[in-house]
Amino acid sequence: MARRRIIAGNWKMNKTPSEAKALCAELKDLVKNDDVDVVYCVPAIDITTVVEAVAGTNVQVGAENFYIEDSGAFTGEISAPMLVDAGVKYVIMGHSERRDIFGENDILINAKVKKAFAAGLKPILCCGESLALRKAGTYKEWIERQITWDLDGVTADQVKELVIAYEPIWAIGTGETATADQAQEVCGFIRELIAKLYDQATAEAVRIQYGGSMNAGNAAELLSKPDIDGGLIGGASLKPDFGKIVNA
Ligand code: PGA
């Protein structure tokens, strides 16, 4: 079964609403491709602007974060129903920056996966190892543990709709990309893990992205690998280069 490619930008904490509007206009013609799911995951304050700016195009909007309760006394947070109402389709969770800087653990991330599905959002679930674990050679055990925790209680039908992003921390924003073979090794391992945790049909349906310094120059090679179904792109999603990645 052919999996549909998904190229998602992770804007992180970049772009004011007016800058976001300008970036959408700049990218508009460059990201046209009806064979690829194109997603802009943007700061919460930019969501309304970006949803308006991409209306009628092939671009879908994602959020970078949310909290697991629907409403209430959670100062500073936004909920899944708020995202859905604003027109958001995807949401990132488990990103290493949220794990490391904001202390999010796999128990919370697991709750986010379940909540996103319950609310009608598609999770982009990130995993990935540090440089120390890569050097120690225990990166696959680490990723197995992350995914196993994060998907606890998640059904096979849900996993078929899930996007998993493999993002080695040592490659994020560093200019150091995993080689296509290194990325394929782990993405293939993740697919085998899904087959083990669920079944073959689920493993074949789940979409797996690579993320970490993906750019216009290396995207085609990474995306040519059998288990790499797309990319989660930080720095290069803020530039016209993003269009080249979409069309790589
Ligand atoms: P990068 O970020 O492309 O800037 O390395 C990727 C990510 O953190 O999602």
User: By residue range, what is the domain housing residue 163?
Assistant: 5-246
Residue 185 appears among annotated catalytic residues: no
Say if residue 173's pLDDT is above 90.
no
Q: Specify the number of domains making up the chain.
A: 1
- List pLDDT tens digits, range 95-143: 999 999 999 999 999 999 999 999 999 999 999 999 999 999 999 999 9
pLDDT at 175: 79
CB of 245 closer than 6 angstroms to any ligand 1 atom: no
235 is in an annotated binding site: yes
Distance, in Å, from the CA atom of 14 to the CA atom of 11, rounded to the nearest integer, reads: 6
187: domain CATH number is 3.20.20.70
CB of 234 closer than 6 angstroms to any ligand 1 atom: yes
Instruction: Check: pTM over 0.85? Answer yes or no.
Output: yes
SS (H, E, C) the chain: CCCCEEEEEECCCCCCHHHHHHHHHHHCCCCCCCCEEEEEEECHHHHHHHHHHHCCCCEEEEECCCECCCCCCCCCCCEHHHHHHHCCCEEEECCHHHHHCCCCCHHHHHHHHHHHHHHCCEEEEEECCCHHHHHHCCHHHHHHHHHHHHCCCCCHHHHCCCEEEECCHHHCCCCCCCCHHHHHHHHHHHHHHHHHHCCHHHHHHCEEEEECCCCCCCHHHHHCCCCCCEEEECHHHHCCHHHHHHCC
Compute the distance from residue 53 Cα to the ligand 1 centre, in Å: 23
Say if residue 176's pLDDT is above 90.
no
Angle between helices 180-197 and 139-150 (to 10 degrees): 40
- List pLDDT tens digits, range 180-238: 999 999 999 999 999 999 999 999 999 999 999 999 999 999 999 999 999 999 999 99
Mean pLDDT of the chain: 97
Confidence band of 40 (pLDDT split at 50, 70, 90): very high
Q: Does residue 229 contact residue 32 with C-beta atoms inside 8 Å? A: no
Q: Is 124 exposed, middle or buried (0-12, 13-18, 19+ CB in 10 A)?
A: buried
Distance, in Å, from the CA atom of 147 to the CA atom of 127, rounded to the nearest integer, reads: 7
Say if residue 248's pLDDT is above 80.
yes
CB of 79 closer than 6 angstroms to any ligand 1 atom: no
pLDDT at 1: 59
Say if residue 174's pLDDT is above 90.
no
- The closest-lying atom of ligand 1 relative to the alpha carbon of residue 92 is 9
CB of 233 closer than 6 angstroms to any ligand 1 atom: yes
Q: Name the amino acid, one letter, at 215.
A: N
- List pLDDT tens digits, range 52-78: 999 999 999 999 999 999 999 999 999
142 is in an annotated binding site: no
